[in-house]
Structure 1
Amino acid sequence: MITLGWTLVILLFVVGMIGAVYPVLPGVLAIYGAFFIYGWLISFEPFGFGFWIIQSLIVIIIMVADYAVGALGVKKFGGSKAAIIGSTIGLIIGPFVIPAFGILIGPFLGAVIGEIIIGTSWKKAISAGVGSVLGFFASSAVKIALQLAMIIIFLIWVF
């Protein structure tokens, strides 16, 4: 059971880290789920109240920051709410439509199309698109750092 537990935990950690940059994967929830898999298959004993509070706070911060940092990138480059919505839609749909580059092209096009729909000039729409891509990179960097912190905290608590 220990081997199965660790295999699933490591697999969920890998899926979670890939999910930090590829939004169709569960990301932080996969990492959080790994803690429960460890508990159910190995032991919940190492995890106290403090562990769950710290990890839950990090999950909440990641979820809020994921949206906020991306939206901030669009806003910083002059984008409107339409660009933020378009960018979010593009981020979800892009990887399916253009598998290799959709992760970057999707949010860009989504923001540009969102701005064009509300009558914004092409120049401002392109700027909002650039902001959405930069916001995606910044959001991914924050998620990677915090998710690595979650894994390190887990390992410290277990060992």
Structure 2
Amino acid sequence: MNPLNLIMSYFIANSRAEHYGIKDPQEIQKTGLIAGMISANPIISYLLIENKAKELEVIPARNSAPTGTATGGSTTPTTPTIPTTTGTPTTTAPDPILEKLDKLNKKLGDSQKAIGDLTEKIETIKKSSQDNKAGIDSINTIIAELPKVIDRLGALERKVEAISNVQPATVTEVKPLTKK
């Protein structure tokens, strides 16, 4: 037995009694208190109270006796009249539980939108991660080829040094040959 659930059930019972126009709310209050004592789930308590309130709802008086003329063993029923009210229309205060449910519904919608945005961001991150992986793989292949390139550069450098170390041939004086 949760005292908070008991109190909530009592207030829910009063709210439902007012909503359904129950003149003597004691029966529904008893149901609310019993539901609050038995159930640990306030939603189940609410449903029990709601069903009891619908059971006790004040229904306008209707024609219970069928009217019609009996001719030849058949009866022709007439449509019951619906009572009309005159005067100012009564406005009931919005149900606090329904207001809370509407607020929760709006928050749920906002949360779902935020989840959708986060999902889009995650997909974008996954795509950029895959792009980065492809770039990293190409960089790694280039890095793997660097020792070969360094060896080639070293070989070229040695050849250049070998060529630069060779002394140029000195040309001695060239005399033209004369004809004898």
Tell me if TM exceeds 0.5.
no
TM range (shorter): under 0.3
